[in-house]
A and B are shown apart, each in its own frame.
Chain A
């Protein structure tokens, strides 16, 4: 079937099979930041934004993207680099395979939550698995990133 959606700000017309997932479609369109780690909605690696909300593209039919606004890490390189610099300052990106999915979700969380208590942050990001870092370094990075403006305001 033919679908129409915006991908990182570009309007796309695309032929998709009924059973194609958004994950496959996005990789087909060259969005290689989107990774797959489990196929069962458990790991968070394939997280993308659909109309501003984080979604697991491995379990999201491409057909449902019809008329939607899709954003992958390729579309928000500046933001990715900004949070990413906090992540790598902790050495917490490690292999980096789960980083794109985590970063998508951190950026979505930043917009969605009103406040960033540790428990809320951990809860929000619980679906983003990481096998390298043990999460502590990611958490240090997220905390530092979310409070990055605080000192500036005091000046």
Chain B
């Protein structure tokens, strides 16, 4: 299609901006009916226990209590809360309520009542007799432990991911290409180190929440703060054991997701209350619940062996990842893959690679999807190892990357054998180096006041959608007066896809943005989309928009030909009219829109789905400048430079904010955000008092630029942006600190204490 750019690559304001900045009631809890039952979950105080007896009699007598449910009241049919395409790789290991408690915070009972006070009162009166069992809290000892987390017979793994509940294994596997051991043996320099990342919380400002009601047809309607509207429908059908046709799921505005809401954390609880009582019901997670019983990043321990010849050319790389999925297996089998698949391919030179992994169950909170999805963990490890290797060789850390980085046109054996059609990683590196004034600052500058500034570098990649799996669909309608309705199944979670997808449509249809009304997402109305995750929305749903617009243009020409009584191939459509360059005939789009409302047999509607056999990686380079106090080990981030290749930036402002936001989260992960447990399995960082999110005083100065490549399989050359941006801070900051004071910290977060213990100057 040959069209001029109208709004693509322009920083238009989000369509929902005015409602958001004036505080209009557009979020889940703002929309819930006033007579909703309040639903809360009574949570296990034990990391591993069996419920011998649960006495709810007293609690049921509390004034205003309508419904109390225990494991005896729910279907004995296991399901997964992971929002993934069916059949899910995540094992079916959950019940809505179970008699086995698998982590502190696991659901023991559901209480619903007219008021929050009544529910709180009733929760205190429920007597649970627990048989406390030995918990498995150390993920290094979980595999083949004598204590099983999921001994139940109806545990089920639908996909061949190497899961075995009799070994506490949620998944295992690996792949090998070339002679890793042989090549490593011949290397002049080899680094072997172990890196450890934690179960960081997404900590989106809006906690998990949902409400449900029965509509006029007796169907279960669920309004949920979710990234995966269609998966919620399927998962509820599995959990409640009712047909999908009886469920409708609606997504209003969402107060952030970052992957947390790619797991159906809260929806089952109000849903089962509505099914049991016929009443509308809502659940609003407290921050405490969102911290202790949700879907954080998988904790991983990653062993990297990487070797180079005397010139600094990489020869072989070997990665082993041990991932902690916690009590349940949501996203366990898939996140781990990215720890190798999105770190090893950053380098073109290794002749051999090996990637092996185990994903284990423990009695910690279940993990889930968090921006980066395993790539973040793998990139921290591999990029740190490359930095350590450069130190061993005595080579500049930018130089080792310039020698070895992946380039456009390369075939990537560790990235599903894909050929790299778009890559500006080399330009990203060159520009970042310039912005940071690397040559002047590397490796460190003594500030003369007991503080030293160091600089560090890291590269990153991600994917754009899950190749051969994810599906995005859109429907486009022409309305009277010639405006369009764009129905999408992708979930705008604040990222702005309702706007950016309209930008794509606006360019394809050569019309103003205001002429495109976007509707998303309602499973009764929207076309199927696997959901907003895996960096898929712009790349995949954007292409579905391009396709649908092409079909729409064709149909408009058909109608034009009919109304002008001439041959279609003599006509052109310019966005506002169908006209005949040779003959002078024309009809406006407005007239076509109005005419089709009368005496017409062909609806002007176009629908398209898109799936992709490839997942083109975006790339970026991050550089950190960190000042370390030699006396205390305290590290302060001074400057962060990031240069990103996400293909065409459809909306440069929103791409920039995605980048700055992802970097700030990455900075939190690198320096502040920790998840630890007591020896009884109590999670310690259970509020924002203990779980330190970076404030605006902690992020230093963040500077972002784009070096665009053009991805031929993406809409207008676009790839993804959402996830990659969180991947560089941990390795770049770790390296800046190592450069400053010689302290190489391999476990996140990199606190002053850990630095102090390793200071070598």
A contact set with B: CB distance below 8 Å: 17, 32-35, 37-40, 42-43, 45, 72-74, 77, 80-81, 83-85, 87-100, 103, 122-123, 125-139
**Residue-wise interface mask of B (253-267) relative to A, using a CB-CB cutoff of 8 A (1 in contact, 0 not):** 111101000000000
**Residues of the B chain whose Cβ atoms lie less than 8 Å from the Cβ of A137:** 653, 656-657, 660
A74 surroundings in chain B (CB, below 8 A): 23
| Bound complex: CA A131 to CA B495 (Å) | 12
Contact pick for B21, options A84, A126, A132, A135, CB 8 Å: A84
Q: Is B596 an interface residue (CB 8 A)?
A: no
The 8 closest A-B pairs by CB, nearest first: A33-B23, A95-B494, A84-B21, A96-B20, A97-B255, A134-B660, A134-B664, A88-B17
Q: Which residues of B lie under 8 Å from residue A122 when comparing CB positions?
A: 696-697
Residues in A with CB closer than 8 Å to B16 are 96
Residues in A whose Cβ lies below 8 Å from that of B664:
133-135
Counting residue pairs across A and B whose Cβ atoms lie within 8 Å, the total is 183
**Please, which residue of chain A has its CB at the minimum distance from the CB of B665?**
A131
A-B contact pairs, 29 of them (CB 8 A): A17-B117, A33-B23, A38-B687, A40-B688, A42-B689, A45-B205, A72-B23, A83-B21, A87-B17, A88-B17, A88-B21, A91-B656, A95-B20, A95-B256, A95-B494, A96-B16, A96-B255, A122-B696, A126-B696, A126-B697, A127-B695, A129-B695, A130-B661, A131-B665, A132-B204, A134-B657, A135-B660, A137-B660, A138-B696
Q: Which residues of B contact A90 (CB under 8 A)?
A: 653, 657
Q: Would you call the interface of chain A mostly helix, strand, loop, or mixed? A: loop
Inter-chain pairs besides A33-B25, A42-B688, A43-B688, 16 sampled, C-beta below 8 Å: A32-B25, A38-B287, A38-B688, A40-B688, A80-B21, A84-B18, A88-B14, A89-B653, A94-B496, A96-B17, A96-B494, A97-B205, A131-B258, A131-B693, A133-B657, A136-B660
B11 contact set on A, CB distance < 8 A: 91
Q: Mark B669-697, 1 if CB is under 8 A from A, else 0.
A: 00000000000000000011100010111
Q: Which residue of B lies closest to A89 (CB)?
A: B13
Interfacial chain B residues near A43, Cβ < 8 Å: 205, 688
Q: In the assembled complex, which residues on chain A have CB atoms less than 8 Å from the CB atom of B665?
A: 131, 134
Would B661 and A131 count as touching, CB distance under 8 A? yes
Inter-chain contacts of B496 with A (CB < 8 A): 91, 94
In the assembled complex, which residues on chain A have CB atoms less than 8 Å from the CB atom of B656?
A: 91, 137
**Cβ–Cβ contact B22 & A81, under 8 A:** yes
Kindly list chain A residues whose C-beta atoms are within 8 Å of the C-beta of B687: 38-40, 42
Question: B660 and A95: CB pair below 8 A?
Answer: no
A88 to B27 Cα, complex, angstroms: 18
Contact A99 B21 (CB under 8 A): yes
Task: Flag if A37 contacts B287 (CB, 8 Å).
Answer: yes
Q: B22, B653, B696: which contacts A84 (Cβ < 8 A)?
A: B22
Distance in Å from the Cβ of B757 to the closest Cβ of chain A?
A: 29
Minimal beta-carbon separation of A145 from chain B (angstroms) = 12
Chain A positions within 8 Å of B286 at CB level: 39
Q: Are B255 and A95 in contact (CB under 8 A)?
A: yes
| Residue in A33, A38, A131 whose beta carbon sits within 8 Å of that of B256 in the complex | A131
Q: Tell me the smallest distance from the CB of A51 to a CB of chain B, in Å.
A: 20
CA distance A125 to B202 in the complex (A): 22
CB atoms of A94 and B697 under 8 A apart: no
Rounded to whole angstroms, the CA-CA distance of A103 and B23 in the bound complex is: 10
Between B20, B202, B493, the greatest number of chain A beta carbons within 10 A of the residue's beta carbon is seen for B20
Which residues in A have their C-beta under 8 angstroms from that of B254?
A: 95
Which residue in B205, B255, B659 is a CB contact (below 8 Å) of A129?
A: B205
Give the distance in Å from the alpha carbon of A96 to the alpha carbon of B256 in the complex. Answer: 9
* B494 in contact with A132 (CB, 8 Å): yes
Given contacts A37-B287, A134-B702, contact A91 B205 (CB under 8 A): no
Contacts of B657 in A (CB 8 A): 90-92, 94, 132-134, 137
Residues of A near B614 (CB, < 8 A) are none
Which residues 188-218 of B have a CB within 8 angstroms of A? 202-207
Instruction: Identify which of B25, B117, B207, B256 gathers the most chain A CB atoms within 10 Å of its CB.
Output: B256
Q: A81-B21, A92-B657, A134-B702 are in contact. Are A97 and B206 (CB under 8 A)?
A: yes
Task: Assess the A96–B688 pair: CB atoms within 8 A.
Answer: no
Interface residues on B, range: 35 or more
Chain B positions within 8 Å of A136 at CB level: 660, 699, 702, 704
CB contacts (< 8 Å) of B693 on chain A: these are 42, 129, 131
B662 interface contact, C-beta 8 A? yes
Contact of B255 among A35, A127, A138 (CB under 8 A): A35
Most chain A C-beta atoms within 10 Å of own C-beta, residue among B29, B688, B699: B688
B651 at interface, CB cutoff 8 A: yes
B206–A95 contact, CB under 8 A? Answer: yes
* Cα–Cα distance between A37 and B209 once the two chains are bound (Å): 12
Of chain B, the residue at the smallest CB distance from A92 is B657
On whether the beta carbons of B688 and A95 are closer than 8 Å, the reply is no
- Nearest-neighbor residue (CB-CB) of A94 within chain B: B494
Tell me the complex Cα distance, A142–B39, Å: 39
Distance in angstroms from A62 CB to nearest chain B CB is: 14
Query: Which of chain A's residues have a CB closer than 8 A to the CB of B494?
Result: 94-97, 132
Contact yes or no, A134 B663, CB < 8 A = yes
**CA of A38 to CA of B208 in the docked complex: distance in angstroms?**
12
Is the C-beta of B563 less than 8 angstroms from some C-beta in chain A?
Answer: no
* Cβ-defined contact, B287 with A97, below 8 A: no
**Most A CB within 10 A of own CB, among B203, B258, B657, B665:** B657
Give which listed residue, B21, B695, B696, contacts A96 with CB less than 8 A: B21
The 8 Å CB contact of A93, one of B20, B26, B689, B704, is: B20
Residue of B nearest to A43 (CB): B688
**Nearest residue in B to A103 (C-beta to C-beta)?**
B21
Asked if B660 contacts A37 (CB within 8 A), the reply is no
> A102: nearest residue on chain B (CB-CB)?
B21
Whether a CB of chain A sits under 8 angstroms from the CB of B86 is no
Least Cβ–Cβ distance between A155 and chain B, in angstroms: 26
Chain A residues near B704 (CB, 8 Å)? 136
Closest to A42 in B: B688
For the complex, give the distance between the alpha carbons of A58 and B758 in Å: 41
* Centre residue among A37, A103, A122, A131 by max chain B CB count within 10 A: A131
Taking CB atoms, residues of chain B closer than 8 Å to A99 are 20-21, 23
A77 (CB) vs chain B CBs: closest residue: B22
Question: Are A96's CB and B253's CB within 8 A?
Answer: yes
Q: Which residues of A contact B287 (CB under 8 A)?
A: 37-40
Chain A positions within 8 Å of B689 at CB level? 40, 42
In the complex, how many angstroms separate the beta carbon of B653 from the nearest chain A beta carbon?
Answer: 4
Per the bound structure, the CA–CA distance linking A72 and B651 in Å amounts to 32
How far, in Å, is A73 (CB) from chain B's closest CB? 4
Given A84-B18, A88-B21, A32 and B30 touching (CB < 8 A)?
yes
Within 8 A of A (CB), among B625-665: 651, 653-654, 656-657, 659-665
**For the complex, is B288 an interface residue (Cβ under 8 Å from A)?**
yes
Select which of A33, A72, A95, A127 is within 8 A of B204 by beta carbon.
A95
Residues of chain A within 8 A (CB-CB) of B204 are 95, 97, 131-132
> Residue on A with the closest CB to B255?
A97
Q: Mark B712-741, 1 if CB is under 8 A from A, else 0.
A: 000000000000000000000000000000
